[in-house]
Amino acid sequence: AQLGDSQHAREQLAAQLPAGFDVDRVEQQAETLVRAMINSAKSDGQVDQQEQERIIGQLGDVTPDELDFVRTELATPLDAQGFIRSVPRGMEQQVYTMSLMGIDLDTNQEAQYLHQLAQGFGMDADTCNAIHDKLGAPRLYR
């Protein structure tokens, strides 16, 4: 199940979007950002209850289909390179930011995962550090 599977939800979303926005593209972007949070939570080898609740809390009101999508993503093993390849061009910094928001950045595995994202997205150290500073997170690069 993908986010926004129901026709009614799609029609509601389409009605709320400014002219010229594509529902499929918006849904893909939303799904990518949710996957970013989930994957970063998985990066330390486990997703604890607190991390699951934080992710679901970030989503706000969710449909049963959307909750199923999140649960399926949480249960799927982390494939960092596959995820990096799936991110639409132009969303790299958004995805990196959501990934950082999805974790506490208190393990080496989480730092390595963020480094993988930065490299995969072609982001330089200054850009990454600026995002970390903005979110009040420890920097990855000196």
CB-based contacts of 71, cutoff 8 Å, min separation 6: none
User: CB–CB of 92/122 below 8 Å?
Assistant: yes
- % the chain with pLDDT above 70: 82
User: CB–CB of 141/124 below 8 Å?
Assistant: no
Specify the pLDDT at position 49. 84
CB-based contacts of 80, cutoff 8 Å, min separation 6: 39, 43, 113, 116, 117, 120
Whole-number mean pLDDT of the chain?
85
Specify the DSSP element, H or E, that contains 60: none
Specify the pLDDT at position 14. 62
Specify the pLDDT at position 102. 83
Q: Which two tokens stand for residue 35?
A: 């996957």
CB-based contacts of 97, cutoff 8 Å, min separation 6: 131, 135
pLDDT surpasses 50 at 1: no
pLDDT one-digit tens code per residue, 56-98: 887 778 788 888 888 899 889 999 999 999 999 999 999 999 9
Angle (nearest 5°) at CA 80 between 4 and 64: 20
